[in-house]
Amino acid sequence: MEEWVGGLWHKYITGKASTEYLPAKVYFTEVSKSVAMVFRALGGDSFKRIESASPRDYLVRRSFLQKISGGNQQISLAWQDNESLRLPESLAVFPSIELNRDLYIWLAVLAAHHSGRFTHWAKDNQQLVKQVLTQYPALKLRYERLAQAFVNERIIDTKRPAEEQRMKQAITQAVLSPDSNIEFPAVNYAPQAVYLWLYPSAHVNPQILPEYEDSEQAENDQSKKQSAAKSKSSRKKAERIDSPESRDGMMIFRLESMFSWSEFSKLDRGSDDSDEDEEDNQRIAEDLDKITLSQQQDQKSANIKIDLDLPSASEDDLPMGDGIKLPEWNYKTQQLEPERCLLQPMLPKDSVPQKLPAKLQKIAKSIQAQFEQMQSLRYWLTGQQQGEEIDLNAWLDFTVESKISPTHEKGLYKSFRGNNRDLSCLLLADLSMSTEAYIDNNSRVIDVVKDSLLLFGEALQTIGDNFAMYGFSSVKRSHVRMSMLKNFNEPYSDEVRGRIQAVKPGFYTRMGAAIRQATKVLNEQNSTQKLLLILTDGKPNDIDHYEGRFGIEDTHQAINEAKRLGLKPFCITIDQDAEEYLPYIFGSGFCTLIKRPSQLPLKLPQLYHQLTNA
């Protein structure tokens, strides 16, 4: 009974406190396609995902009913970062469905012309609105309707402090007249949500205040200056204590008993080898009033630092040389950073010469028969000085040109020649840890990849094309592994088959470095056509900053570098989510999705047939 009454009370009080027009509510899912089309058509980043924004904390004054109901503490706002554009899950700001729909479209237009960074939230939005209305005058009537409706729905509260009243008036004037010159006062509480404007990223500033500084370079410079100043002048108290007696292991504790940085606890603290360690340690030291040191009793030789992601040298593949330093693209600075990655060529460990597995022999014979037909094809070579027949087209061109002006005689014959395929192909296979996954009860992704490589080799050996095969995986930028399965200078033999059957799932997918090295190897071949095939089961990723947009942008840049050299990159993937990122990386028409991974061994030779006979 109490729960039932409580439910009725909650429904009643939240309804009274709500300022939304529920009958006119429009959900993001209803307009997501229209929003995406507008955003990309007006120049928005084609890579960014367009998603709904979860409610976020918003420090704003609440009414008496809102305090009782506990509402209005979190609000869904429009914002974007380097990865995505986030729009409210739903909009019921206006009493009309049409106005709420128009608001979604308007936010998409603003986002298409904004980088996501702010120096002053209100001034930047006012300037952004002015810029958009100047560039697209046809949007002015729609914006004026939205602006007037927004002002009409603003809550009037004369009891608020004078600064907040002036802030509200300044925002109202900025919305109605984007061209006006307005000063925005500093306030302790955020103003009522301005749904017509964009907000800073939720990952950067959870409490959105009107003035927001996001100049990354300026912050870095300032922090360096402050750090230098503090390091010269600051002095710390110190104390010595006994070293920790406990051994490494899992620690179980209650959250309310957690220590702060300034409280010493007897436990071993792990360290990360990231590039930011030195800066983090300096920052933490500056925050401490007292630094506690312990005298370590253990022998130094007993402390072993290992990377659990990598096997020991005795169990690892065989390295070839000291490694190759390669650049990497930094999309934030729009620069190619030299010698950023270290690529290590390797040979599969314990590989021995092997025959083609019995389960593939029947399929291999069928594929070989298809490729033998390509080898037996003959064609006419036109414009020759001598040949079996007259080239009528060349003769007609020569006759017409000679009537107009004196001209030298060109090749007027055509000759029937055998098939001469002047091309080289490099197949680059993703051997990351995700290939350990099972696609059915009997097969893993890595098993399908190995079968595909074997059948691919059998097919190209039949036709006589020049080809090479490599696999790759990575553990951060300092350890990009590239397994050599077959290079261009060796024949396809039982030794190569043994290497393919010996490969195992590796680590992560730093695709950009592998593509750059494959591009270098392929570009050295003296062939007219050069095909770079990439076989993968997921998007570029690694355990450092390469996750997300950084990896995708670096791979996109590596593909563009290959295209500029005259290579033809083409990606084959079994990742069912590849449509979200693959066309951006490789371009339309330069990638394909195999929906049934088990069909990859058959599809790969067929795709090669299509790509080299187009």
Q: DSSP of 39-92, one letter per residue? A: HHHTT--TT-EEEEEPPEE--B---HHHHHHT-SSEE---EE-SSEEEEESEE-
Specify the pTM. 0.56
pLDDT value at position 396? Answer: 85
The series of mean pLDDT values per 10 residues for the chain, 614 residues long, is 67 60 87 90 84 73 57 73 86 88 92 86 89 91 90 70 80 87 75 84 52 42 50 52 51 48 49 49 60 52 48 75 94 92 92 93 90 62 78 83 76 68 91 91 92 94 92 94 94 95 93 96 93 94 88 95 95 90 90 91 89 75
Asked whether 170 and 192 are in contact (CB, 8 A), the reply is no
Given a contact cutoff of 8 angstroms between Cβ atoms, the answer to whether 372 and 400 are in contact is no
Place of tokens 């290590």: 344
Report how far apart, in Å, the C-alpha atoms of 225 and of each of 17, 222, 228, 229, 232 are. 48, 5, 5, 6, 11
State the Cα angle at 427 between 424 and 433, rounded to 5°: 170
Give the single-character DSSP code of 325.
Answer: E
Q: Is 8 exposed, middle or buried (0-12, 13-18, 19+ CB in 10 A)?
A: exposed
Closest CA to 429 of 378, 375, 477, 481: 481
For residues 188, 190, 192, 197, the Cα torsion angle rounded to the nearest 10 degrees is 150
Is domain 336-375+422-612 classified as CATH 3.40.50.410?
yes
- What does the pLDDT read at residue 283? 58
- Where do the domains of the chain lie? 13-217, 336-375+422-612, 378-418
pLDDT at 8: 67
**pLDDT for the residue 68:** 60
Identify the pLDDT of residue 327. 96
Closest CA to 129 of 70, 194, 202: 194
Phi-psi group of 93: left, alpha or beta (phi > 0 → left; psi -120 to 50 → alpha; rest → beta): alpha
Nearest to 88 by CA among 111, 112, 66: 111
Residue type, 24: A
